[in-house]
A and B are shown apart, each in its own frame.
Chain A
Amino acid sequence: MSRQLQLEPLPATAAADAVPGLIAVAMSGGVDSSTVAAVLLQQNRPIVGLTMQLWNQRRLPELQGDGPAQHRCCSLDDVYDAKRVAQHLNFPHYVVNFEDEFETRVVRPFVEQYLSGRTPIACTNCNTDVKFEPLLRMARQIGAERLATGHYARIRKNETSGRFELLRARDDSKDQSYFLWGLTQEQLSRSDFPLGELTKEEVRNAARNANLPVAEKPESMELCFVPNGNYVQFIHAYSRAEGIAVNNQEGDIVTEDGAVIGRHTGVHNYTVGQRKGLGFAAGKPVYVLSIDAGNNRIIVGEDQALLTTTLEIENVNWISVAEPSTPIRGQAKIRHKHVPATSTIEALPNNRARITFETPQRAITPGQAAVFYNNLTVLAGGWIK
């Protein structure tokens, strides 16, 4: 492995434009993105590390004090971990401040969506609107041609269609293509996912073989700006700090035919499919079918009523194919842990599409994404209306 990459200044002739072959690595301080750096160095690719400062963990003081601040994403410890990896492998590394972008494009929309009764996915916005937008731009501004990240997914150029395709990771259990459906052709053309062909175990072993100081670091499973996983508490604290009105009003829990069976504590405390805390109707357990934030009502019903065969998505991004004129058969995934289900997708006007399942699916949740696959390949994705 080359041990002195790029600590010498780049050649002065490279001053004006991109440095041939230079890759920026988005480094969170975790084992995955650190291994990306190690893998690229082993391939003798010149790299520069960039770590985004996204969220000030001291920002909402009332959230402090619930447990140790260990292994929080975007914490100082993670930034220092990324720096240690860069020092260990001897390549240039910088911390870049995207706190403003992260708040306006990820945190605030997350809170607002929750308050309007939807169940948003912050990681998708972060990918589409932060990592592969301002971060990719900054990477190119400083002279890199491409951005590599630790995502488990694959990108392939289809020489026939000329399109960049997004594929599931080889390690299906780690696949993150569900969070990447928003990437444009331009973004995909400049991105690298070096872990897409590796299993998690292979990544750990690569980290160990490179003696990375983060090789044994546990994974962060929670949303990075809500490290304790308590969304409701975060939404309350953020809304208070930002003066966002929260409808804390209690309201009715009603069945589909309008019968009131109980009271709810505020619509943002519920998600579609939820069972807990709802009581019973006619002696049977009920589930949240939908959230009617406008009328401050939670609509509930039996498990059976959660099953639906069609859904509509908006802000659709077509990836491996251009928007098709006829329906296409494939598999759709409607939440991160969902097993893709056989269905057809049909493009609709105004960037929308309809997905129709062969068998009904449980708890289709507004605010989540539906991603449509042809086996390994992502055809399209969009937000569930």
Chain B
Amino acid sequence: MKRIYLDHNATTSVEPAVVDAMLPYFSTEFGNASSIHSFGQRARAAVETAREQVAALLNARSQEIVFTSGGTESDNHAIFGVAQALLPAPSGVEGPVRPGTHIITTTIEHEAVLNACQALEKQGVAVTYLPVNREGLIHLDELRRAVRPETVLITVMHANNELGAIQPIAEIGRIAAEARVRFHTDAVQSAGKIPVDVKALELDLLSISGHKLYAPKGIGALFIKSGTRLRQLLYGGHHQRGFRPGTENVAGIVGLGKAAELAGFSLEKDAARISRLRDTLERGILDRVPDSSVNSANAPRTPNTANILFPGIEGEALVIALDLRGLACSTGAACSSGAVEPSHVLTAIGLPAAEARASIRFSLGRHTTESEIAAALELIPAAVSHLRKLSPTYQKSAVIR
């Protein structure tokens, strides 16, 4: 039996066309993109083509794209880069952040953003963590009220990894522009799934990650709007205009470029097809599993994500039960041991701990088929029903009802 993969928000397979595009850059086209000679020039050409391809997906200019090692580095670069850019000039000494510096973010960001903000708090930066409502969306009024004269950065994720909920990024961009505050979004979960237009959204900074859009792991990009002052994160050679030193990961960059190009071609068609399958999955589960419900059901969502609450079960047990039967999905956040920790996102939307633990994420992808969804709809209700038979909490609540 073939395994079914419904965990595309964790990572995707590398598209065969992407692998094909990358392969020469491991062998015949192995040049260092900084070298003068023809080997280097061919690598440089490939890197710059990829930069254009990524820029095209985001409606940016190619000189605004910096390649990184992935989403985490992009987020860190944006956040530390802005917070530490506006240094007291007179001494000319690069020191810690300017006292009073303020950043606005949300409670449901990825750890790459949350932990970067927490690190800055230790350096004296004030951080506002905007709450979200039951659907996982921030309130624009609360954002407006949070902006202060000392605010240097608003960083709000585009789409949430666990819920798929899409924040009102265009409105946030307008508020940031009016307040003359830099605006960064973590678009790791949206790029390639829904249109991302840095101009329309009035973004200064945006992070993407290769392996979430059918490119390999270990490559990502940061969009930096022209004219944005950013302190560099790494020190080294003059690669990528000094923004990001380190010999370019040419093959990875080529892969990201190709994946961005493919995403641009197929985004609309994929989104329509995948959201139809996702809706089939959700409706099927709600029909067959009593008391189940969809988290963030009323928010605008990425087309591929379904986060389902199955009261009375332990999500961890359901994920294992389904994996043993050939269906991969996820719950909560994996800690370093691989065990599951309660999700800070589900807690932030107001779910009690037991319901947060009873929620499961299914995330579909470009190659998910109708027959896979049909098979999932056989496996999931059966597994939930078996778990509930052995669950003390579900039996208890059933008796009360």
Q: What DSSP secondary structure best describes chain A's contact surface?
A: mixed
Q: Which of A10, A17, A53 contacts B335 (CB 8 A)?
A: A53
B321 adjacent to A142 (CB under 8 Å):
yes
B339 adjacent to A96 (CB under 8 Å):
yes
Residue of A nearest to B337 (CB): A79
Give the shortest distance, in Å, between B224 (CB) and chain A (any CB).
36
Q: A12 with B337: in contact, given A48-B324, A92-B324 (CB under 8 Å)? A: no
Which of A133-141, A209-217, A302-310 is near enough to bind chain B?
A133-141
B324 adjacent to A142 (CB under 8 Å):
yes
A12 adjacent to B335 (CB under 8 Å):
no
Q: A16 with B382: in contact, given A76-B337, A79-B337, A142-B320 (CB under 8 Å)? A: yes
Q: A96 with B1: in contact, given A53-B335, A76-B337 (CB under 8 Å)? A: no
The proximity string for B residues 319-342 relative to A, scoring 1 for CB distances below 8 Å and 0 otherwise, is 011011110000000011111110
B383: interface (CB < 8 Å) = yes
Bin chain A's interface residue count.
Answer: 20 to 34
The proximity string for A residues 122-149 relative to B, scoring 1 for CB distances below 8 Å and 0 otherwise, is 0000000000000001101111000000
A15, A16, A96 — which one has the most chain B CB atoms within 10 A of its CB? A15
A9 adjacent to B335 (CB under 8 Å):
no
Give the shortest distance, in Å, between A98 (CB) and chain B (any CB).
8
Q: A16 with B3: in contact, given A6-B324, A95-B339 (CB under 8 Å)? A: no
Q: Which residues of B contact A51 (CB under 8 A)?
A: 337
B390: interface (CB < 8 Å) = yes
A245: interface (CB < 8 Å) = no
Q: A10 with B326: in contact, given A15-B382, A141-B317, A142-B317 (CB under 8 Å)? A: yes
B321 adjacent to A143 (CB under 8 Å):
yes
Complex Cα spacing A327 to B390, Å:
38
Q: Which of A94, A99, A141 contacts B390 (CB 8 A)?
A: A141
A17, A76, A96, A99 — which one has the most chain B CB atoms within 10 A of its CB? A96
B320 adjacent to A53 (CB under 8 Å):
no
Residue of B nearest to A80 (CB): B337
Q: Which of A9, A14, A92, A96 contacts B316 (CB 8 A)?
A: A96
Q: Which residues of B contact A14 (CB under 8 A)?
A: 325
Give the shortest distance, in Å, between B340 (CB) and chain A (any CB).
5
Q: A141 with B1: in contact, given A15-B378, A95-B337, A96-B316 (CB under 8 Å)? A: no
Complex Cα spacing A99 to B320, Å:
18
B338 adjacent to A79 (CB under 8 Å):
yes
A83 adjacent to B338 (CB under 8 Å):
yes
Q: Which residues of B contact A8 (CB under 8 A)?
A: 1
Q: Which residues of A contact B378 (CB under 8 A)?
A: 12, 15
Complex Cα spacing A152 to B34, Å:
64
Give the shortest distance, in Å, between B375 (CB) and chain A (any CB).
8
A97: interface (CB < 8 Å) = yes
B379: interface (CB < 8 Å) = yes
Q: A10 with B317: in contact, given A16-B382, A76-B337, A137-B390 (CB under 8 Å)? A: no
Q: Which residues of A contact B387 (CB under 8 A)?
A: 141
The proximity string for B residues 385-397 relative to A, scoring 1 for CB distances below 8 Å and 0 otherwise, is 1110011100000
A12 adjacent to B339 (CB under 8 Å):
no
B314: interface (CB < 8 Å) = yes
Q: A53 with B1: in contact, given A10-B324, A12-B378, A143-B321 (CB under 8 Å)? A: no
Q: Which of A12, A15, A138 contacts B317 (CB 8 A)?
A: A138
Complex Cα spacing A355 to B54, Å:
78
B336 adjacent to A9 (CB under 8 Å):
no
B320 adjacent to A10 (CB under 8 Å):
no
Complex Cα spacing A92 to B326, Å:
12
Give the shortest distance, in Å, between A24 (CB) and chain B (any CB).
10
Q: Which residues of A contact B383 (CB under 8 A)?
A: 15-16
The proximity string for B residues 298-314 relative to A, scoring 1 for CB distances below 8 Å and 0 otherwise, is 00000000000000011
Complex Cα spacing A48 to B341, Å:
21
Give the shortest distance, in Å, between A84 (CB) and chain B (any CB).
13
Q: Which residues of A contact B336 (CB under 8 A)?
A: 76
Give the shortest distance, in Å, between B105 (CB) and chain A (any CB).
25
Q: Which residues of A contact B3 (CB under 8 A)?
A: 9
A9 adjacent to B326 (CB under 8 Å):
yes
Complex Cα spacing A53 to B317, Å:
14
B324 adjacent to A16 (CB under 8 Å):
no
Given contacts A10-B324, A15-B325, A53-B339, 17 further A-B contacts (CB under 8 A): A9-B324, A9-B325, A11-B1, A12-B326, A12-B379, A14-B325, A16-B383, A16-B385, A19-B324, A53-B335, A76-B337, A92-B323, A94-B338, A96-B340, A99-B339, A138-B320, A141-B387
Residues of chain B having any CB pair with chain A under 8 Å: 1, 3, 313-314, 316-318, 320-321, 323-326, 335-341, 375, 378-379, 382-383, 385-387, 390-392
A-B contact pairs, 13 of them (CB 8 A): A8-B1, A9-B325, A12-B375, A16-B386, A94-B320, A96-B317, A96-B339, A97-B340, A138-B316, A140-B390, A141-B313, A141-B314, A141-B317
